[in-house]
Structure 1
Amino acid sequence: MKHAAVLAVLLSAWFMAQFDFFVVNVAAPSVERDLHAGPAALELIVGGYAFTYAAGMITGGRLGDRYGYRRVFIWGVAAFTAASVLCGVAADAAQLVAARLLQGLAGAAMVPQVLATISAVYPPGPRARALGWYGAAGGLGSIAGQVLGGLLLTADVFGLGWRGAFLVNLPVGLAVVLLAAWLLPEVETGRRARLDLPGAAGLAAGLGLVLVPLGLGNGLGWPAWTWACMAGSVPVLALTWRRQRALGARGGQPVLDLNLLKVHSYLAGVGAIVAFMAYFAAFMFTLTLLLQGGAGLDAFRAGLAFAPMGVMFTATSLLGTRLVTRYGLAVLLAGGTVTALGLGLLAVAAGAGTPYVIAAMTLVGAGNGLVLPQLIGAALVEVAPHQAGIGSGMLITAQQFAGAGGVAVIGAVFFAVAADRGHAAAMRWSAVIDLGLILVVLATVAYNRRRATRRARAAPSRTAVTP
């Protein structure tokens, strides 16, 4: 029972972080009207959170390894709640941008502790189920940002408008802080991690040189400085990587634990998650454009269109953990196939009317629920407890980077086609690219399945010759 309560506390924070990542898409038109925010300010309100969230994630993981997952989690939730209140009371666009940057930093401290605590506290069997719930909560938070965000703005029960989407975090955050202080265990990592501040600064700068242009490029028409920044990220990240290797070789503790990349299941899991998140973030973004721009739905009705997808995602993600225990990675292959079928239907039916689009979305949601939660569990299954914080931070950074890249690249294709041939044609092109990314995920899972099968066959023979 206590394990269930601990998991509920951890996942509430993770849900909150994902919810706030997506809810701004729905709230953006209201913010524009209320605060007279221009296009650049809106881009920063949406993308600023993503940037500081991704750039600080690995350092957040290291903070947990150094000071304890419980302590950093509690302070992270408290800071996230405070930043949410600042968002909700912002008097102008500049204040809202600053508050969103703080909110992303707080999320970067809070979220790695969720995966780290699950990996360190739960034994293998319960851990797989807990990681399944983690994936389900993250996916639901993403979809709820669209559905509940539209509902909050439309109902406007307390007359708060878009501000209610941020202020709703106040009671939730306070409850999570109090329950975490009561329920979360102290985790002994067995190692006193040191902070590599130059490495963290180099990594943040390198990611910023990529993420900021990716976030702003579409809206600004890809001016020269966006390309210069992305080109400049290459030497910055290369020098940071070289320093990380040198520091690790000297016995130091770099901000990136490169030893994790020697764990095949972790490396393959990161690759699969990068492909999946690039598809998923772009899919949610382009669907919103199709429903609101192409089909002419308002924020509330567009949000409701995501509801069947969310229901199917919830059902299959909860079922998926039990199925994986019995049938292994074949379940992920089946789920990826269902997702591919849904994307294929969307590519064909994008212009056939909203009911057909919703049917395709529902099929995609069913497949995603079988895939996403299990991908995360597979990536962390062999990570040692003392690496749980940094492993989680690196994994989530890869997720955020992939999501930003997917939205930028596939979004650029969508806008280019939509300008010429309309939203339905643009969605067809986007769905085809998404389908290609899902095929990459299927190929990676098939590779891991073959490795797992070979290990299982070799295990009895190794046991037999052991003295």
Structure 2
Amino acid sequence: MRTDEVSTMSATETRDTPSATDRHNWRMLPVILAAFFMYGFDGNVVNVTIPSLQADLHAGQAALELVVGGYVFTYAAGLVLGGRMGDLFGYRRMFLVGMASFTVASVLCGLAQNPTQLVVFRMLQGLTAAAMVPQVLALITSTFPAEQRPRALAWFGVTGGLSGICGQVLGGLLLVSDLFGLGWRVIFFVNVPIGIVVITLALRLLPTTASGRRPGLDALGILGISGSLALALVPLVLGREYHWPLWAWILLVASVPAMAAALLWERRLARTGGQPLLDLTLFRSKVFNAGLAINAAFMAFFTSYIFVLSLMLQTGLGFSALHAGLVFAPTAVLAMVASLKGKGLVAKHGLRVLTIGSLITAVSVLITAVGLQVQGGGISQPVLLVSTALMGIGNGLILPSLIGAPMAGVKPAQAGIASGMLSTTQQFASVTGVAVLGAIFFAKLGDHAGAGAYAGATELAAWIALGLILVMTALVTVLVRAAAASAAEARAASDASPGDVAPAKA
């Protein structure tokens, strides 16, 4: 009788304990995703405040470029270090430090009295975001069991997509409402109550999960990786504004050997038993490599395409910030709906859903390109709304798999650095996409003004964006093959050692 009672209790505990853990994980998820949303929202909302910044702070073109690009630059340059700091000091601690610092930096941005102050505080804000965002992916990877991780990663991808669109829509609403007479400053001050709530909930819900190891800081690796990224990002962010001077090309070219030297150091450090900043063993996985390439192609497309469309709507067609934001509203709404449906479709049909989403997004861009070719500067709003609606559906099907593709097979001990590498790839691709497509757009536009000229430049950009989406679709095929090969290898290894005990979940 006693044996039966013990057996029954053990079985009950086996069922209840994972259930309690699962509930706790899903309560934690929206808290950490709020941080990722805040980063993406603040990265995009400043685009709709540019006229206000010009009028209030008398900001010139260079300052405006730095308000937008400086944030991206410091964020991208600090991501790998942010991931390593999470491995070193714990994901929970770095998340809290990053969120508190991001909130303070947001207050400083809202209090800025001149363009120089705003640029400095925006760069600080990007750096603090680099401390907290890698911990989001690391916490998901290290706390969620393997069978639930794709669903959690899907929500991460959805959050990233929605934050960009909401930056346009909600940013316009905040400016129009002019809360408390704060004008453009409200877009930064709104982070204060949100940050306080997130910190309060994070203190209660975030586990003290770390990578299980205490890596060294690798100061030379930090300097080499961050420095080489800086050499590339500075000209990409500022080159177009300054008409691509010689120094921009010199820095861009110098970034290649600088990165090569940094990677050689990282490999040497690993061979000699050290702890390099980058875990180069991640690149042995074809799945991780293909996943990174897909993320790069998508981010280069999405960020640059939204940038160009925003310019056409507001500057070319004369839409207000709110009107332009509402054009993108179908993208935000339908991306959410499609992503909710997409999770089930991914579970049933696998990565084929990613291909379908890519093709739907390609159709949306094609509609815009053809509409601009036929209607020019008089492109109708129904055409724009149909295009943005289809883009929302396509992106909603893409996002559930986009982040999970490279991260799903990452070991918990590699979560921090892998998330930093993924986020760095995304940001570098975004900056490169905006720089390249923006340069082509402005080269086509030239000194012309008016709706027709902007429509012609946007049409050219749309055809190039369509090419990026098709490249992404081709990369999905590579990913599918790599994933199938990896699964076959795992099954073969499992069959070869049937007596091995599966490792416990971190």
Count of aligned pairs: 467
Question: How do 1:274-285 and structure 2 match up within 5 A?
Answer: 274-285=296-307
**Partner residue, 1:365:** 392
CA-to-partner distance for each residue in 1:286-342, whole Å, 9 max, x for gaps? 010111122110111111111011111111112211110111011111101101111
Q: Does 1:411 align with 2:411?
A: no
Alpha carbons 1:263, 1:382 under 8 Å: kept? no
By how many angstroms is 1:372 displaced? Answer: 2.5
> What is the identity, as a one-letter code, of the residue corresponding to 1:377?
G
Q: Tell me whether 1:433 sits opposite 2:464 in the alignment.
A: yes
Residue 173 of structure 1: how far off its partner (Å):
0.5
In structure 1, what is the equivalent of residue 11 of structure 2?
none
Q: Does 1:102 align with 2:133?
A: no
Residues 132 and 318 of structure 1 are in contact (CA less than 8 Å); yes or no, is this contact kept in structure 2? no
* 2:70–2:122 contact (8 Å) kept in structure 1: yes
Moved more, 101-110 or 427-436: 427-436
Return the index of the structure with the highest Cα Rg: 2
1:134 corresponds to which residue? 156
* Separation in 2, partners of 1:39, 1:254: 40
Give distance in 1, aligned partners of 2:490 and 2:196: 48
1:319 pairs, out of 295, 318, 341, with 341
Deviations 1:168-215 (A, max 9, x none): 000000111111111101114221111112211222221111111111
Deviations 1:247-278 (A, max 9, x none): 11112111111111112211110011001100
Q: Is the 8 A contact 1:189 1:385 kept in 2?
A: yes
Counterpart code for 1:279 = F
Contact conserved, 1:265 with 1:381, CA < 8 A, in 2?
no
Which of 37, 54, 59 is matched with 2:81 structurally?
59
Specify which of 130, 139, 142 is matched with residue 117 of structure 1. Answer: 139
Q: Tell me which of 408, 411, 436 is aligned to 1:384.
A: 411
In 1, Cα distance between the equivalents of 2:82 and 2:46? Answer: 23
Q: Which one of the candidate residues 424, 434, 441 is aligned to 2:455?
A: 424
AA aligned opposite 2:362: A
Q: How many Å apart are 1:131 and its aligned residue?
A: 0.5
Q: Show the counterpart of 1:42.
A: 64
- More displaced 10-residue stretch of structure 1: 412-421 or 102-111: 412-421
1:14 to 33, 36, 41: 36
Change (3 A) 1:151 1:78: same
- Which deviates more, 224-233 or 394-403? 224-233
**Post-superposition shift, 1:103?**
0.4
Confirm or deny: 8 A CA contact 1:136 1:318 kept in the other structure: no
Shift of 1:448: 1.9
Change (3 A) 1:462 1:230: closer
Match of 1:445 among 459, 463, 476: 476
After superposition, what is the alpha-carbon deviation per residue over 1:396-437, rounded to whole angstroms, capped at 9, x for unaligned?
A: 000000000000000111111123671111111111111111
Instruction: Give the whole-Å Cα distance in 1 for the aligned partners of 2:248 and 2:495.
Output: 60
Q: Give me the whole-angstrom Cα distance separating, in 2, the residues matched to 1:106 and 1:316.
A: 32
Over 6 Å off, 4+ runs: 457-462
Moved more, 437-446 or 278-287: 437-446
Question: Judging changes above 3 Å, is the alpha-carbon distance between structure 1 residues 220 and 366 closer, same or farther for their aligned structure 2 residues?
Answer: same
TM-score normalised by structure 1 residue count: 0.97
The separation in 1 between residues aligned to 2:320 and 2:405, in whole angstroms, is 39
Aligned positions of 1:53-92 closer than 5 A:
53-92=75-114
What residue is the counterpart of 1:308 in the other structure? 330
SS at match of 1:125: coil
Query: Of 201, 218, 231, which residue of structure 1 is paired with 2:223?
Result: 201
Identify unmatched segments of 5+ residues in structure 2: 1-22, 499-506
In structure 1, list runs of 5 or more residues that go unmatched. none
Identify the range of structure 1 (222-231 vs 126-135) with the bigger mean alpha-carbon deviation: 222-231
Alignment of structure 1 residues 389-408 onto 2, 5 Å: 389-408=416-435
CA distance in 2, matches of 1:283, 1:87: 27
- Give the equivalent residue in structure 2 for 1:374: 401
Tell me the TM-score normalised to structure 2 length.
0.90
SS in 2 for 1:158: helix
